[in-house]
Amino acid sequence: MSMYDNLNSMQQEAVFHTEGPVLILAGAGSGKTRVLTHRACYLIEEKGVNPWHIMAITFTNKAAGEMRERIDSLVGFGSESIWVSTFHSTCVRILRRYIDRLGYDTNFTIYDADDQKILMKDICKRLQIDTKIYKEKSFLGVISSAKDELISPEDFTLRAAGDFAKERQAAVYREYQAALRKNNALDFDDLLVKTVELLSNDAEVLDYYQERFRYIMVDEYQDTNTAQFYLIKLLADKYRNLCVVGDDDQSIYKFRGANIKNILNFEEIYPDAKVIKLEQNYRSTQNILNAANSVIANNVGRKAKALWTDHGEGEKIDFQQFETAYEEADYIAADIRKKVKESGCHFGDCAILYRTNAQSRLFEEKFVVSDIPYKIVGGINFYARKEIKDLLAYLKTIDNGRDDLAVRRIINVPKRGIGATTLGRVQAYAQEQGLSFYQALRGADEISTIGKAGVKIRPFVNFIQTMRSKVEYLGVAKLLQEIIEETGYVSELEAEGTDEAQARIENIDELLSKAVAYEESEETPTLSGFLEMVALVADVDSLQEGSDYVVLMTLHSAKGLEFPNVYLAGMEDGMFPGYMTIISDDPLEMEEERRLCYVGITRAMTQLTITCAKQRMIRGETQYNKVSRFVKEIPGNLLGGMVRTQKKQKDEQESSAQSFRQATSKVKPIFSTRNIYQSRQSNSFASSSTDKIALDYSSGDRVKHMKFGEGTVLQIVEGGRDYEVTVAFDRVGTKKMFASFAKLKKV
């Protein structure tokens, strides 16, 4: 019996059809990851394809990691040379090698949303645009959509002719792009745009990657935008072995430029494409599937699909409407407690999904009080915290002196008495002389206008120069350590003595251990490499298998995940579908919202609970909402739980009102400072202080590492928040590493 016998006939067809274009329409829970991993395996073991020629591309690091893991366990030999990666990391890898051909340095920096906004503010000021009337964010939105569509500043300018508003946008776009280039920086969209530009302009590079990626598989194809579409098309054009997997019903990223036509018109672009539908669902009960099917049936213009399962009917969907959002949170917390106590359900089996991040707050408060372990995905990224960004700006300045933004961020952190006027003069001088900001600082003595302030600048420049000369032999972690000591960043926080300062120090410690872990996990660690990893991690990436906490996240983040016990909270018109969707005159927006609902429902394996509240506070104002129209699209016979007696409701109201009083009076002050930091600081990618996981290997065991291969565990030292494991690898010698990062597997 072979491993392929476990697949159903449709899945087998998808696995065995290896040559030419293939479109796999995979309904929710139909085992698409299984198909992709088995397909990679089949290519290598049955078709004799060199793993080096196979590429699998996803949207999130988590999905990529999962696929990597599953391929590793399936493929006997050589799986590590399969290119499994996200779109963005793939682009960065290509650009780090070749972007000099487009006139950038290969050590470019990547700007996050924060950086973009600061840059945009500066540009608006320069162009004398009043940001009270025209918001930075709206310009950034316009530019981002243009980039998604591969529209260059020049193209944009041509199209804008004659339209005042668009001409202004064009001017801003041109300036913005010029500023990025001057700073040797790329924003997120640029990663794709520049890679496509490179591949379409440079035949040599294109040929190299076409030869390398002879078999390409793309996950979540319905979420690709135009730039991603062209990237894939360019790469696949020579061998045409392109296998895309997706589900038009799960297309929920239009706002990010995703073009649903990429999947709907696949057969027109590749007329010889083989189309395979996966309709058997292995995840949910029939009741849950029926609910999902009846909701999505209200959309027009989708590919016909009928999900079915041979699991039984299962439990009815528990639907509850409450007076207030507090009661909703009470109910869900109590229900989770009950399920954990009575039916052997774990906290980690439960997920609460909502439309907007702001909704997490009530649940967090409730869970802190009731002592339920939880983890919030999304919201503020670990790397977006002020203290982390400050330290990273030092690293960026040392790594790439052309990044003006980073330099300006830290020139006066800690306080060096260099203020706005001095900076303005340095800026003017830099502009005049055609220098970068940092270069101007180095030559501060030459700037006549700043006078005595030059004395304050010199130590800073000396410090950066010294650090630059030390990068090579210090390595990332020690460099960071030295920055912290020399600048007195942590000691300043210690002096503050507040809970918040303490939380910041803990975050800095966390950053340090990430730097250490990075150096240990990479074969050739570099400063640029570390900064790059930091720029590309998303929050969902941090979810660890086997940790026991309730997960809270938005419906968008939940795509691709599954949980036995799912709560869809805040199912009200105005929340979900959201206010913006309801007032929109484009009916397609409601369809997208409905697809989001479909995604939510299909995350549930055995039990789905839908809740809503008649009133809730939104930005300090009480809003009154009706039950979501999506709930009404679910046939009544699938719903249970609505029949609650008057008395029972009254009891519940009283008890929740009481706990609400508790939450506001006693708990909140503590909660709002230290605890919120503690609970969120674990929202980072690999290790975390709050959930140390047990190891399933011990000293003397044989283990396997993704890169280093097999080895024997020599020693395990228990550290504060992780285990430090020493392993003697057969191929690469002895290495020390953090357990949570190394992901060692017992063999």
Active site residues: 32-33, 219-220, 250, 603
Q: Which is nearer to DNA, 446 or 492 (CB)?
A: 492
Quick check: 419 binds DNA (CB under 7 A)?
Answer: yes
Q: Which of 79, 85, 557, 679 is in the footprint of DNA by CB under 7 A?
A: 557
Q: DSSP assignment, residue 222? A: G
Stretch that binds DNA, among 326-334, 352-360, 655-663, 712-720 (CB under 7 A): 352-360
Q: What are the E-state strand segments in 210-300? A: 215-218, 242-246, 274-278
Stretch that binds DNA, among 267-275, 441-449, 478-486, 574-582 (CB under 7 A): 574-582
Q: Is 250 helix (H, G, I), strand (E, B) or coil?
A: helix
CB 307 within 8 A of CB 335: no
Q: Which is nearer to DNA, 523 or 621 (CB)?
A: 621
CA 12 – CA 714 distance, rounded (Å): 43
Q: Which of 355, 603, 629, 735 is in the footprint of DNA by CB under 7 A?
A: 355
According to DSSP, the β-strands at 317-324 and 109-111 are unpaired
CB 741 within 8 A of CB 695: no
Q: Is 608 helix (H, G, I), strand (E, B) or coil?
A: strand
Quick check: 415 binds DNA (CB under 7 A)?
Answer: yes
Q: Which of 4, 239, 579, 677 is in the footprint of DNA by CB under 7 A?
A: 579
Q: Which of 179, 234, 538, 590 is in the footprint of DNA by CB under 7 A?
A: 538
Quick check: 206 binds DNA (CB under 7 A)?
Answer: no
Q: Which is nearer to DNA, 416 or 692 (CB)?
A: 416
Q: How many residues sit close enough to DNA to count as binding (CB under 7 A)?
A: 45
The tokens describing 491, both together, are: 């000691």
Stretch that binds DNA, among 288-296, 615-623, 644-652, 677-685 (CB under 7 A): 615-623
Stretch that binds DNA, among 4-12, 14-22, 415-423, 440-448 (CB under 7 A): 415-423
Q: Which of 3, 127, 275, 580 is in the footprint of DNA by CB under 7 A?
A: 580
**In the bound complex, what is the minimum distance in angstroms from residue 94's beta carbon to DNA?**
15
Q: Which is nearer to DNA, 276 or 552 (CB)?
A: 552
CA 132 – CA 431 distance, rounded (Å): 26
Q: Which is nearer to DNA, 658 or 715 (CB)?
A: 658
According to DSSP, the β-strands at 563-568 and 215-218 are unpaired
Quick check: 59 binds DNA (CB under 7 A)?
Answer: yes
**In the bound complex, what is the minimum distance in angstroms from residue 728's beta carbon to DNA?**
35
φ and ψ at residue 610, rounded to 5 degrees: -115, 130
Residue window 163-192: x/- pattern of binding to DNA, with contact defined by CB under 7 A: -------------------------x----
Q: Which is nearer to DNA, 82 or 325 (CB)?
A: 325
Which residues partner with 610 through β-bridges? 319, 568
**In the bound complex, what is the minimum distance in angstroms from residue 496's beta carbon to DNA?**
10
Quick check: 617 binds DNA (CB under 7 A)?
Answer: yes
Cα atoms in the Cβ-side hemisphere of radius 13 Å centred on 395: 31
Quick check: 546 binds DNA (CB under 7 A)?
Answer: no
Q: How far apart are the first and last CA of the chain?
A: 23
CA 88 – CA 536 distance, rounded (Å): 7
Q: Which is nearer to DNA, 200 or 584 (CB)?
A: 584
Quick check: 554 binds DNA (CB under 7 A)?
Answer: yes
Interface residues for DNA in 79-108 (CB under 7 A)?
86-88
Quick check: 683 binds DNA (CB under 7 A)?
Answer: no
Quick check: 255 binds DNA (CB under 7 A)?
Answer: yes
Q: How many CB atoms lie within 10 A of CB 539?
A: 22
**In the bound complex, what is the minimum distance in angstroms from residue 411's beta carbon to DNA?**
10
**In the bound complex, what is the minimum distance in angstroms from residue 86's beta carbon to DNA?**
5
Q: DSSP assignment, residue 738? A: E
Quick check: 142 binds DNA (CB under 7 A)?
Answer: no
Quick check: 618 binds DNA (CB under 7 A)?
Answer: yes
Task: For 182-205, give the DSSP string.
Answer: HTTEEEHHHHHHHHHHHHHH-HHH
Quick check: 421 binds DNA (CB under 7 A)?
Answer: yes
The tokens describing 681, both together, are: 């600081």
Quick check: 461 binds DNA (CB under 7 A)?
Answer: no
Upstream peptide bond of 577 is cis (omega within 30 degrees of 0): yes
Q: Which is nearer to DNA, 225 or 241 (CB)?
A: 225
CB 653 within 8 A of CB 615: no
Q: DSSP assignment, residue 628? A: P
Q: Which of 76, 417, 488, 733 is in the footprint of DNA by CB under 7 A?
A: 417
The vertex-163 CA angle with 157 and 167, nearest 5°, equals 40
Quick check: 378 binds DNA (CB under 7 A)?
Answer: yes
Quick check: 581 binds DNA (CB under 7 A)?
Answer: yes
Radius of gyration of the chain (CA): 27
Q: Which is nearer to DNA, 10 or 63 (CB)?
A: 63
Categorise residue 379: left if φ over 0, alpha if ψ from -120 to 50, beta otherwise.
left
Quick check: 422 binds DNA (CB under 7 A)?
Answer: yes
Stretch that binds DNA, among 267-275, 349-357, 395-403, 636-644 (CB under 7 A): 349-357
Interface residues for DNA in 697-716 (CB under 7 A)?
none
CA 568 – CA 549 distance, rounded (Å): 17
**In the bound complex, what is the minimum distance in angstroms from residue 592's beta carbon to DNA?**
8
Q: Which is nearer to DNA, 185 or 703 (CB)?
A: 185
CA 208 – CA 211 distance, rounded (Å): 5
According to DSSP, the β-strands at 350-354 and 563-568 are parallel
Stretch that binds DNA, among 28-36, 354-362, 715-723, 739-747 (CB under 7 A): 354-362
Stretch that binds DNA, among 29-37, 53-61, 213-221, 441-449 (CB under 7 A): 53-61
Q: Which is nearer to DNA, 89 or 609 (CB)?
A: 89
CA 663 – CA 164 distance, rounded (Å): 52
Quick check: 38 binds DNA (CB under 7 A)?
Answer: no
CB 166 within 8 A of CB 153: no
Residue in 102, 186, 89, 100 with CA at minimum distance from that of residue 529? 89
Catalogue the long-range contacts made by 471-478 (C-beta closer than 8 Å, 24 or more residues apart).
471/398, 471/399, 471/527, 475/519, 475/525, 476/395, 476/515, 476/518, 476/519, 476/525, 476/526, 476/527, 476/530, 477/512, 477/515, 477/516, 477/518, 477/519
Upstream peptide bond of 414 is cis (omega within 30 degrees of 0): yes
Dihedral (CA of 290, 295, 297, 303) sign:
negative
**In the bound complex, what is the minimum distance in angstroms from residue 223's beta carbon to DNA?**
9
Quick check: 418 binds DNA (CB under 7 A)?
Answer: yes
**In the bound complex, what is the minimum distance in angstroms from residue 534's beta carbon to DNA?**
12
Chain contacts with DNA (rule: CB under 7 A): 59-61, 86-88, 113, 132, 188, 253, 255-256, 355-358, 361, 378, 412, 415-422, 453, 536, 538-540, 553-554, 556-557, 578-581, 589, 617-620
